[in-house]
């Protein structure tokens, strides 16, 4: 059913919090996502022209790098982009078949690929470009928030998190319940001023992004060189030569 | 947005078909069909209309990844305009057929008029659903605006009026005052509407800046440094379609001249009984070519906000 679920009191809002301050743009999250979702018995993320000149394929997570300027500094910002599991998920309501749905209990947006007709309308409705067509099966694919990991009781509790979060070497990705103000992710968002991407479009994404912090390490002012005779002059010369 | 041949054919062909059905309904409701030829007019009109509609709907299945599951698209009419379009298009068939049967058996009469109104409502309702598929997509500013739905209705009525004039000419020898006037007026309105639409989308601002798309506060600027991948992917092929400004500049006047101005002049000539068979047919051919180009532009000029992440213009 592609009507959005009515908000339930106490329902979870599972999602990701991505720290743009510490993301180093290494693509490990995208690679581990691809590996997890394409491995096993039912690999679902096809690749086309794998070893050819134009390799292409379906990925749930794409990492962009940008140069930014403002607030008195310029910097590189790496932005992982995947499904935001929006509260006003237009991709769900436009679906003509009921294949695209949002779960009432935890807000995860999923696709029932057994009934998807591959009309692509949901991909047009998503402002984040988070849905990609599987051109082999003719159905749409998207991030599942690793629904097959986070509820898997055979996994040790510490591993019950999305593959992208588990693998992030700079701990820039966090997973949790954003409906609970006391959860680790909610506190992070509150402390760091987490934001919605494309907030003005009004899709109310669940995933939040922590903006890059301003560089606050003050540079020490250069010390005035004191004349200290031959020894100091020699040391000064050495210092200049070595710090070139 | 990538112009997909099957969707261009779907929206233009059903526009002609439903437009014609709407005008047949108007004529029946007003009781202005010549009594002696009503059966032929309705039968010919319905046949042409339903063939065009069916071609369009069949074409729409070609862009599906899983054609055999197309029937599932009728289920989500409560939220999805695409589903509503499917339901409306299927419901229009029995209405059109009932209208044809009653008009054939009873000629003029209350029920013919009632079913004429029903055929008008069902056909325009379906066109409206089609238009709303595009108008409801918030990430695409060239579609999500107040022009899209009225424009689709107008182009359907315009193309239907030209078809009606041809059918009148074939059956009755002349297009008649109503069909010619309707065709000329619809052509003029469609021309004005298309120009207003282009003015509107040309004056719109992009939906967002790249800095906002990556969550940076105001006062920041961002430009792409490294893309996630070095070849085109589904998102870029489907949503990152970019049309060169020089192509737009060439195609827009062509749409106005061939799609709207020529049919306008030809319909006036047909109304004045200047070689009606040639002028009405020529008007129809011009409009078909013009509207296919117009629909191609409707897609090609539409930009999707997600292309922003790749630094493409939106």
The per-residue pLDDT for range B188-242, each reduced to its tens digit, is: 999 999 999 999 999 999 999 999 999 998 889 999 999 999 999 999 999 999 8
Residues of B in contact with A102 (CB under 8 A): none
Choose the most confident range, by mean pLDDT, from A50-54, B2-6, B109-113, B146-150.
B146-150
pLDDT band, residue B148 (cuts 50/70/90) = very high
**A159 CB contacts (<8 Å, ≥6 apart)?**
A149, A166
Chain B, 39-98: which have a CB under 8 Å from a chain A CB?
63-67, 69-70, 72-76, 78-83, 86
Quick check: A119 and B64 CB within 8 A? Answer: yes
pLDDT value for A232: 80
Q: Is B213 on the interface with A (CB under 8 A)?
A: yes
Pairing of strands A47-48, B221-226: unpaired
Domain borders along chain A are 14-210
CATH number, residue B224: 1.20.1630.10
Token pair belonging to B270: 């047909």
Q: In which domain, by residue range, is B51 found?
A: 5-310
- Report strand pairing: A14-19 vs A208-210: parallel
Instruction: Please provide the distance, in angstroms rounded to a whole number, between the alpha carbons at the two ends of chain A.
Output: 66
Residue A82: pLDDT band with limits 50, 70, 90: very high
Sole residue written with tokens 């935001």: A84
Q: Encoding tokens for residue B66?
A: 């899983």
Question: Rounded CA gap, B4 and A172, in Å?
Answer: 40
Please check whether residue B239 touches A, CB under 8 A: yes
Residues written for chain B: 314
Torsion of CA A179, A181, A186, A187, to 10 degrees: 180
In this structure, are residues A123 and B238 in contact, taking their beta carbons and an 8 Å threshold? yes
Mutation site, A47, A88, A117, A142, interface B, largest B CB count within 10 A: A117
Q: Give the CATH number of domain A14-210.
A: 3.30.70.20
Q: Tell me the mean pLDDT in the region B72-85.
A: 96
Q: Is residue B208 less than 8 Å (CB to CB) from chain A?
A: yes
The pLDDT value given to residue A215: 67
- Quick check: B220 and A119 CB within 8 A? no
Whether B220 sits inside 8 A of A69 (CB atoms) is yes
| Contact between B64 and A195 using a beta-carbon 8 Å cutoff | no
CA separation for the pair B39, B46 (Å, rounded): 11
Alpha carbons A230 and A47: distance in angstroms, whole number: 68
- Hey, what are A110's tokens? 């999923």
Q: What pLDDT does A226 receive?
A: 63
Average pLDDT over residues A159-166: 96
8 Å CB contact of A67 and B75: no
Q: Which residues contact B99 (CB under 8 A, 6 or more apart)?
A: B24, B25, B28, B42, B46, B112, B115, B116, B118, B119
User: Residue B249 has which token pair?
Assistant: 């500049």
């Amino acid at each position: 059913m592609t009507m959005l679920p009515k908000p339930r009191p106490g329902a979870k809002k599972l999602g990701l919090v991505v720290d743009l301050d510490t993301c180093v743009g290494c693509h490990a999250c995208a690679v581990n996502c691809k590996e997890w979702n394409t491995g096993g018995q039912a690999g679902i993320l096809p690749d086309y022209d794998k070893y050819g000149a134009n390799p292409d394929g379906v990925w749930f997570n794409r990492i962009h790098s940008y140069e930014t300027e403002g607030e008195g500094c310029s910097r590189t910002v790496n932005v992982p982009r995947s499904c935001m599991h929006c509260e006003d998920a237009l991709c769900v309501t436009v679906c003509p078949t009921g294949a695209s749905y949002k779960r009432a209990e935890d807000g995860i947006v999923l696709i029932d690929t057994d009934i998807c007709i591959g009309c692509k309308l949901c991909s047009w409705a998503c402002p984040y470009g988070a849905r990609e067509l599987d051109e082999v099966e003719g159905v749409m694919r998207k991030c599942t928030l690793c629904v097959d990991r986070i509820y898997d009781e055979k996994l040790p509790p510490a591993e019950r998190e999305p593959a992208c979060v588990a693998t992030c070497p700079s701990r820039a990705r966090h997973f949790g319940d954003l409906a609970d103000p006391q959860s680790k992710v909610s506190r992070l968002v509150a402390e760091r001023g987490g934001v919605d991407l494309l907030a003005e479009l009004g899709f109310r994404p669940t995933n939040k992004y922590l903006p890059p912090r301003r560089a606050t390490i003050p540079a020490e002012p250069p010390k005035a060189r004191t004349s200290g005779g031959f020894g100091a002059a020699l040391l000064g010369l050495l210092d200049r030569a070595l710090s070139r | 947005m990538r112009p997909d041949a099957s969707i261009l054919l779907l929206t233009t062909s059903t526009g002609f078909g439903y437009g014609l059905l709407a005008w047949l309904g108007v004529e029946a409701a007003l009781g202005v069909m010549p009594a002696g030829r009503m059966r032929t007019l309705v039968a010919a009109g319905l046949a042409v209309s339903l063939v065009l509609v069916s071609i369009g709907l069949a074409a729409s299945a070609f862009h599906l990844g899983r054609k055999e599951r197309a029937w599932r698209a009728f289920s989500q009419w409560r939220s999805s305009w695409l589903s509503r379009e499917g339901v409306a298009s299927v419901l229009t068939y029995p209405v059109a057929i009932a209208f044809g049967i009653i008009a054939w058996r009873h000629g003029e009469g209350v029920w013919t008029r009632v079913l004429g109104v029903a055929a008008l409502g069902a056909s325009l309702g379906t066109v409206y659903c089609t238009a709303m598929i595009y108008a409801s997509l918030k990430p695409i500013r060239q579609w999500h605006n107040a022009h899209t739905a009225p424009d689709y209705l107008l182009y359907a009525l315009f193309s239907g009026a030209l078809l009606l004039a041809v059918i009148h000419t074939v059956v009755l020898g002349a297009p008649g005052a109503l069909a010619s006037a309707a065709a000329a007026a619809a052509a003029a309105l469609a021309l004005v509407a298309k120009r207003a639409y282009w003015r509107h989308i040309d004056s719109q601002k992009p939906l967002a800046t790249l800095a906002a798309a990556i969550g940076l506060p105001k006062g920041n600027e961002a430009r792409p440094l490294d893309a996630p991948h070095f070849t085109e992917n589904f998102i870029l092929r489907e949503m990152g379609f970019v049309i060169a400004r020089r192509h737009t500049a060439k195609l827009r006047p062509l749409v106005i001249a061939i799609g709207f101005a020529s049919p306008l002049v030809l319909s006036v000539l047909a109304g004045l009984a200047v070689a009606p068979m040639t002028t009405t047919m020529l008007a129809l051919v011009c409009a078909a070519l013009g509207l296919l180009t117009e629909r191609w532009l409707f897609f090609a000029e539409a930009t999707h906000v997600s292309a922003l992440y790749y630094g493409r213009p939106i």
